[in-house]
Chains A and B, each alone.
Chain A
Amino acid sequence: MEMSGEYSIDAPIAEVWAALNDIEILKVCIPGCEELEQVSETEMTAKVALKIGPVKARFNGVVTFENITPPEGYSIVGEGQGGVAGFAKGGADVRLVEDGDKTVLTYQAKAQVGGKIAQLGSRLIKSTAAKLADKFFKNFRDALVAEVASA
């Protein structure tokens, strides 16, 4: 399953890039995120609670950053185990482009699920995943704009 989106953020590219690498901002923006810890410069562990259709699960996962090219973007790759609910894995390419005072963020993501989530929630996965991705980037934009405004 593939998803993509584009957001215009009312902040300069350097600040957007910094926020994309700020674990505290990411933590509040990821829907259902309960824990997010930096393990190394390019690796984080996460605990995320999600509900897809009839399946509720708490995923424990590892997220890695790759192809880091400040401030133009990075790739993010993750894999999570949801116990009996199954597993999810995927990745996203995030790109930033300067647009005057603003920054345009685009992403292209791929995701794959397995186990009970696939068996019971397959019809809902694409819409749920697209919704979650959208929610994350909207949260991210709002958090960033709020931070810029308060600064």
Chain B
Amino acid sequence: MSEGIGARVLRKEDKRFLIGKGRYTDDIIEQNQAYAAFVRSPHAHAIVKSIDASAAEAMDGVVAVLNGAGLTGDGIGNIICGWGVTSKDGSPMNMGAWSALATDKVRYVGDAVAIVIADSIDQARLAAEAVEVDYEALPVVVQSDAALEDGAPQIHENAPNNLIFDWEIGEEDATDTALAGAAYTTEMDIVNNRLSPNAMEPRAAIATFNEADDHYTLYTTSQNPHVARLVLSAFYNVAPEHKLRVIAPDVGGGFGSKIYIYPEEIACLWASMKTNRSVKWTSDRTEAFLTDAHGRDHITHAKIGFDKDHKIVGLKVDTKANLGAYMSLFSSATPTYLYATLLSGQYNIANIHCNVKAVYTNTVPVDAYRGAGRPEASYVMERMMETAAREMGVSPTELRRKNFVQEFPHQTPVIMAYDSGDFAANQDQAMKAADYADFEARRTEAASRGKLRGIGFSNYIEACGIAPSAAVGSLGAGVGLWESAEVRVNPVGTIEVLTGSHSHGQGHETTFAQIVAERFGLPTENIQIVHGDTDKVQFGMGTYGSRSGAVGMSAIVKAMDKVEAKVKKIGAHVLEASEDDIIIEDGAVKVKGTDKQMLWHEVGLAAYTAHNIPEGMEPGLKETSFYDPSNFTFPAGCYICEVEVDPETGTTEIVQFVASDDFGTIINPMIVEGQVHGGIAQGIGQALLEGVVYDDSGQLLSASYMDYTMPRADDLPSYSVHHQSTECPGNPLGMKGCGEAGAIGSPPAVINAITDAIGNNDLSMPATPAKVWAAIQAASAKQAAE
């Protein structure tokens, strides 16, 4: 079947995007629509003494100016973090109150204090400027280590010293003992730089309250509309679930930043009820920098020990994670269960201990961003491995190979049980594709041109297919992380698949259709994927953590199993054959070894006319499944980056980037390669270009594309992308997930390559030309002194 599993089917959704007919939240226009603009704090930390909206209210077109006192007065609840993490002393995390509109205090630049509703967007923005807020500025802290110091400004009363939790995983005593007995140790201070997610479509919302039915409709840029509805109902008390419809139409990228429920959606819903108007808000780019949840921002000290044969004996990691001014929806899980549980890397390590302190600062909240915790783990592990190899004077590839996990399943000391993989095969494939054997000749040739050439490796592993509900529940998750699907065969044989996954660039309308095409032998044009609307789709947990394949598609497979069973019964009945002899292929239901068959649409029609179906069978052909995975999945791979650095300018050029990934079964190689390309671009962006900068007073200095550098085409090489797969035993399709791998595996490869080129391991991300040049100068000064 040309459109089935493994086929490079062109993306069905691209037609509407290419002809400009995508339908994004901002494209939706409701009758009687008004526009919202938010009054935001210019201070990073201040007491709100008073808000005077009288001038704004008197301005042309202004419908209302609403504030936090009104919002909380109407019973709208505080924004919550949905994953409880317990400190090592047994105490619960210290979650500070977060009102959608600040009442008494603002805690970061951009914190919303009021919402202005007006007939036009310009009127709303002008009036927002006229709202006078009297602030009393307070001392500010923006770095996690400084925030933990005695005497640091207190951001939330219930979090002394700004500590949200002090959590640990693994055995500390055993790890200390192992490290004390190690023949070699390597220690490093590692910073994982703070990033802004930069989805192409900024966040937006349009909320409509229908007075007739006491019903709300919210169009919003969400990766998980059902989760949004659940939280808006259960915690924020906007409306009960049956009185709230959430629709996430076409969404232009998320990278995690559109998982969370933000103040703006809550305020628009409430304002719609207060004003009896549809209320639309669309973020501008600077607003996005100021308010979209940021990613990463870890400060880590790590120590790894090896025995005399270079086998790892222990790893100890101490991390301070900056969570910003408030706890976002999954902010507690990202630096704990999605980070420290991956610190075993691809290696057999008997003793691991990790301590994580999560910290409040006067910055925008930090939460999951493409990779979410796993890029941080992979960066720690792969920088440590490369550095240890250099310090011990052994080959970085051989050191890794010597320590690879080779037998599966493999239980790590940090919760995860790896189910499959062949790490050496990925390394072999990548080294061959990179022509590693010839690297020293290339280095010499580059030197003759005055360039410093270096090579760096990264052997990442991550956990996807998030996640077994009972397991995450035992770790503190407030929700189950199964997925649902409904497969509806229509009377004419076309198929609608309703999925709880959400596509915001991933190409689900194509890949999900391919697995249906494969199963029933139908063309993908007869299959429609429906997602993103709580009124249409039964329920769903959405798209993040590379879960839509391993979990979302598995739910579709389970529903198709039920459809297939019913189809076989109908076929056996009509064709007067034994059910065991019925096969489904090429769009027909056939009796094995005969020429008797029913065409697919004839089966559909038979099910719906119900004139001739087995006795006792219900009419119709529509099945639902809720699929709960049995384990995480473990995509892994080997990335090799080769760079040339100009010692005169410190400029880095990536001259080769090779990826060998193990994603398990691949449905559409073209789409998977696209995911890898995008992920690596974001990883290279983190390594070379991107970095959020706050000044000491908490002002965001990187709040536009003048100051926040995104990777562009000419910053990136043509990637060499390969696959070397082992099937995942945990789900029916054998899939592992590919959405985040590129962003997880690439940063350490880039930094390992640059540090190899310049002969100085002391280099932080983003490795800008200024930093690289300074590191080159420091290396030559050190050399001169020796």
Interface positions of A (Cβ within 8 A of B):
83-84, 86-87, 112-116, 118-120, 122-123
Contacts and interface: CB of A to CB of B under 8 A. Distances in A.
A120 B695 contact: no
A119 B290 contact: yes
A86 B703 CA distance: 14
A123 B42 contact: no
Given A86-B42, A114-B42, A119 B286 contact: yes
Contact of A119 (B43, B129, B697, B701): B701
A92 to B, nearest CB: 19
Interface of B: 42-44, 109, 125, 128-130, 286, 289-290, 695, 697, 699-701, 703-704, 706-707
A118 B699 contact: yes
A115 B109 contact: yes
A122 B129 contact: no
A122 B42 contact: no
Contacts of A86: 42
B700 A119 contact: yes
Nearest to B44: A114
Nearest to B289: A119
A72 to B, nearest CB: 31
Contacts, number: 46
20 contacts: A84-B125, A84-B128, A87-B43, A114-B44, A115-B109, A115-B699, A116-B42, A116-B286, A118-B699, A118-B700, A118-B703, A119-B109, A119-B289, A119-B290, A119-B699, A119-B701, A119-B704, A120-B286, A122-B695, A123-B706
Nearest to B703: A119
Among B42, B43, B44, chain A packs the most CB atoms within 10 A around the CB of: B42
A115 B697 contact: no
A83 B129 contact: yes
A105 to B, nearest CB: 29
Contacts of A123: 706-707
B530 to A, nearest CB: 40
A127 to B, nearest CB: 15
B109 A114 contact: yes
B138 to A, nearest CB: 13
A113 B129 contact: no
B699 A113 contact: yes
A52 to B, nearest CB: 13
B27 to A, nearest CB: 27
B42 A120 contact: no
Contacts of A114: 42-44, 109, 697, 699
Contacts of B701: 118-119, 122
Contacts of A119: 109, 286, 289-290, 699-701, 703-704
Contacts of B129: 83-84
Nearest to B135: A87
Contacts of B704: 119-120
Query: Which 10 residue pairs are nearest across A and B when measured between Cβ atoms?
Result: A115-B42, A119-B703, A118-B699, A84-B129, A122-B701, A86-B42, A114-B42, A83-B129, A114-B699, A119-B700
A84 B56 CA distance: 13
B687 to A, nearest CB: 23
Given A123-B706, A123-B707, A118 B128 contact: no
A50 B224 CA distance: 44
A148 B585 CA distance: 103
Contacts of B43: 87, 114
A120 B706 contact: yes
B42 to A, nearest CB: 3
A114 B703 CA distance: 12
A120 B290 CA distance: 12
Nearest to B41: A115
A57 to B, nearest CB: 10
Contacts of A84: 125, 128-129
B707 A87 contact: no
Nearest to A114: B42
Contacts of B125: 84
Nearest to B134: A81
A85 to B, nearest CB: 8
Nearest to A53: B706
Contact of A112 (B128, B697, B707): B697
B412 to A, nearest CB: 43
Contacts of B700: 118-119
Contacts of B706: 120, 123
